[in-house]
Amino acid sequence: MSKLKTNTIQHTGGSADNITLDNSQNVTIEGNATVDGTSTLTGNVTASGNLTVSGTTTISGYNPTSSRNNRNLIINGAMNVAQRGTSSTSTLYQTVDRFGLYTSGTDEAPTQSQVDIASGNTPYTLGFRKAYKVTNGNQTGGAGTSDYIMLRHKIESQDVAKSGWNYTSSSSNVTLSFWVKASVAQNYYFSVLSSDGTLQNYPMETGSLTANTWTKITKTIPGATGVQFNNDNGIGIELDWWVFAGTTYTSTPDVTLNAWAAYASGTRFPDHTSTWYTTNDATFEITGVQLEVGSAATDFEHRSYGDELIRCSRYHQSYSGDGVVIFNEYNRDNSNCWAELWLHTRMRSAPSYVISNLGAGAVTGGGSNDHKIVLQATNANTHFNDGTTWTASAEL
């Protein structure tokens, strides 16, 4: 067997090297490259001209999804949009859009908030500026069996069904990645729940976190028989971070991590340590949440604020000080007046709505569909002004 050892190849009539090889198995081609047969690339190949392959090319480590837009199934995973406000002691959706706080049995309500990420550290250096933070209250009664504090993100079923994930096959995967920081050093649990058909639960753990240190978590989740996602606008995936769960919801001997199992309320996770929950003002933060089809985590898909706001507006829209809205008489009847509010984007379903601080009069009736709200008043003087606020919600 013959072996040619060289670091450059140059045509006899050329003035520069056509091909350069280094000792790390990298190849640089200065002109156009044509491959007629089968090629296998395990190192880096740089072609400054055109690369034409008429056979089959296998590139070790290449992940075609890394350059694909719209690969992240999570909306507002960088926590940039917070239409309702930046801090609240209420539950459900109150601050960061698409992320809600759920609690039970707390003695003092925890606070959910959108917060800044400190500069000079990762994940700030990766382009992240905001995080979703939960600050514990003072749970003076200790860790009750039915107590819990949990963060949740919901994904529409049709978005999962049409994502390209063959979710009933164990050889087809999605990959979840996120950054997490907690003030208490301990292990934390989180899960993916498929909500259609017979509910299926896939529990996972962060491993022991170092206190007050951002850590990136990556989990690859296979499909499985029994996992189901309908092609509709209902709940498909519930992604939950259980900062604490009492033993009503846990059972160490009955739960296998990193495996699908039929959902049962009492066996969602192994038993939780209560250190975080019984620590007054303990904190838990997440950002950079990404769920994508494939077996590897790619770089986070950063979207513009405007793009993310439009996506969030499918579920919630908030407005204030938007100017004057006039109610018009119907059939010249000043006791039967109507106005229309056109939504900025079509919502998931006909929204519920709340209107506050009218300029005059009162709304006495109306209705909505996925693109507008229709309002009725019994006084022709009823109108909005710059102090009027209104919200429309079609959350999962």
Domain ranges (residues) in the chain? 8-62, 87-313, 316-393
265: phi then psi, degrees, rounded to nearest 5: -55, -35
The pLDDT value recorded for residue 9 is 81
The SS3 of residue 148 is: strand
- pLDDT tens for 149-183 read 999 999 999 999 999 999 999 999 999 999 999 99
Other C-beta atoms lying within 10 Å of the C-beta of residue 58: 10
pTM: 0.84
The pLDDT value recorded for residue 14 is 74
Q: Are 139 and 277 in contact (CB under 8 A)?
A: yes
* Residues of the chain where predicted confidence (pLDDT) is lower than 70: 1-2, 24, 31-67, 322-323
Span 316-393 CATH architecture: Sandwich (2.60)
CA torsion 214→220→226→230, rounded to 10°? 70
Q: Are 65 and 293 in contact (CB under 8 A)?
A: yes
The pLDDT value recorded for residue 53 is 65
**Superfamily of structural domain 87-313:** Galactose-binding domain-like (2.60.120.260)
Taken as a whole, the chain contains a residue count of 396
The pLDDT value recorded for residue 60 is 54
The Cα 347–Cα 35 span in angstroms is 50
Residue type, 103: T
Q: Are 67 and 286 in contact (CB under 8 A)?
A: no
Closest CA to 306 of 341, 345, 261: 345
* 283's tokens: 């904190």
- Between CA 307 and CA 311, with CA 310 as vertex, the angle to 5 degrees is 90
Go through 247-265 and write b for each residue having 16 or more CB atoms within 10 A of its CB, e for each that does not: ebbbeeeebeeeebbebee
Q: Are 201 and 191 in contact (CB under 8 A)?
A: yes
Centroid of chain to Cα 295:
18
- Between CA 9 and CA 14, with CA 10 as vertex, the angle to 5 degrees is 170
